[in-house]
Structure formats: structure tokens, C-alpha cells
Amino acid sequence: MEVNINHQTFFVNGQHLIAALESYGLTQTKGVAIAVNEHVVPKSSWESFQIHPGDHITIITAAQGG
């Protein structure tokens, strides 16, 4: 299925959010927040959260600085 991750189109093999994150190449999940269609998905739900064709997934990574 085709989804949009951070403004790029990705083809995902699977129906759960974790499959989309793997397709994106996300390996580090510490300090990461995920939103699907502008709704935050708790990390505890990433493996079971079902995605749909055309969903917009936003991956936000915390950064250090001052």
C-alpha cells in the first residue's frame, strides 16, 4: 500500500504502523514521536495501529540543543 511519510511516498508491505516505520528505515525509536493524519500514536500502539492507503505519517525526532 502507498502512504506518505514526512512528505515522501512509500510503499508498505503490511497494514500496521510498524511496517511503515520499517519501510522508512527507522531503526532508532528513542526520542521519536509519530502522528498519523495529525493524530499522535502512542509508542505502545505502533505494532498494532492499523494504517490505510493514503495515510499521512509524520515522524518527529527530538533534538538536543540550546
Q: For residue range 3-40, list pLDDT tens digits in order.
A: 999 999 999 999 999 999 998 999 888 999 999 999 99
* Ramachandran quadrant class, 65 (left: phi over 0; alpha: psi -120 to 50; beta: rest): left
Q: For residue range 32-45, list pLDDT tens digits in order.
A: 999 999 999 999 99
- Which domains are seen in the chain, by residue range? 2-61 (3.10.20.30)
14 to each of 6, 25, 30, 31, 32, how far by Cα in Å?
18, 15, 23, 24, 21
| Confidence grade of residue 52 (pLDDT, cut at 50, 70, 90) | very high
| Confidence grade of residue 62 (pLDDT, cut at 50, 70, 90) | confident
The predicted structure's pLDDT at residue 66: 62
